[in-house]
Amino acid sequence: MPPYLLARIAVQPQFEHAAVAARRTLDRDAPFREFRCTDERPPSPPHEGLLAEAPAHPAGTPFRRISDAGGREVLPGRLVRSEGEPDTGDEAVTEAYDGLGDMFGFLFEAYGRDSIDGAGLPLDATVHYGRDYDNAFWDGERMVFGDGDGEVFRGFTNSLSVIGHELAHGVTERTANLRYQDQSGALNEHVSDVFGALLEQYVRRQEARDASWLIGEGLFTDQVEGVAIRSMIAPGTAYDDDVLGRDPQPAHFRDFIVTDDDNGGVHLNSGIPNRAFVVAALRLGGPAWERAGRVWYDTLTSDRIGRDTDFAGFAAATLDTARARYGDTSAEVLAVAEGWGEVGVLAD
């Protein structure tokens, strides 16, 4: 969740309940934002008890465990559903269990990746974290979901793109490990948006032209004039609300936002590479995960980028990756070049 949006909610008297929840969420998330831009591991929330070691399971099959924090900010919570067990009737548990399975299947079937780490990592999640917690996060070991405040935000298991986004942070952490600061941090957020959107499209079997390209669609309640947290196809248009203001994401490099907030604008400037990816995917047509997504996945898991790669470096790496897989004069290379040219990162 972008901190600038939570900060806006936190001072709105119109949303008395949500304002308190937003302030509490900002306080809770502050250590993560500080540590994510360093080489240190973000501080983990308090833990109480341990889950048993996951049993051996065949490669290419998921092993999921969903725990319930019961409104506390303590992990992992009470284990309520393990792999293969029946539905509990709790909507958040069901959505988390299904979403983790969807992401596992997507990574394995589309890219041959066996879970987040590529080696069959068990997928753990905790739901009902905190009281009115307005966020979801990957803490390096598990997914953690808040229930939202009910006034501005619904529960965060409600969005498959959000589940995919946060799990993709785990993939990035174990591959390029892009530093969560400035341009490399915006690319970190961008990569998560790409694979969050692709997960949703994969599950829905949508082609690029039919997709919404929205991140967090359905998270806002009816009290907000907005469709999602971000729009990849049209950055800056996801919401326009009298109280919350207008989505501030830029869609072109000339409008790059220089700021000390949000780790150098990582949730803001990610709109620029997001738009580049969508342009490339639309030019290629068909399912976006097959060719544009393949180029981005190959780039993320290659040695062409590193901790401090900037927009230009990432763009050049995607072109190199496209050439290596599809050939120098391929449609894929032309589409990727058009995408980065469209947003001003590379010359048209």
| Catalytic residue set | 166, 267
- Cα-Cα-Cα-Cα dihedral sign, residues 249, 185, 128, 67: positive
Three-state secondary structure call for residue 270:
coil
Residue 138 CA, chain-centre distance (Å), reads 9
Nearest to 249 by CA among 281, 214, 223, 298: 214
- For residue 1, which of 195, 179, 228, 200 has the smallest C-alpha distance? 228
| Residues 64, 121 contacting (CB under 8 angstroms) | no
| Beta-bridge partner residues of 140 | none
Kindly report the length of the chain: 348
Six-digit token string for 331: 């449609």
Give one DSSP letter per residue of 174-224, joined into a string.
Answer: TTT---SSHHHHHHHHHHHHHHHHHHHHHHHT--GGG---EESTT-B-TTS
Torsion angle of alpha carbons 168, 324, 181, 18, nearest 10°?
-30
The one-character DSSP state at 128 is: S
DSSP collapsed to 3 states, 24-39: HHHHHHHHHHHHCCCC
131 half-sphere exposure, CB direction, 13 A CA radius? 6
**Range 273-301 burial, b when 16+ CB lie within 10 A, else e:** bbbbbbbbbbbbeebbbbbbbbbbbbbbb
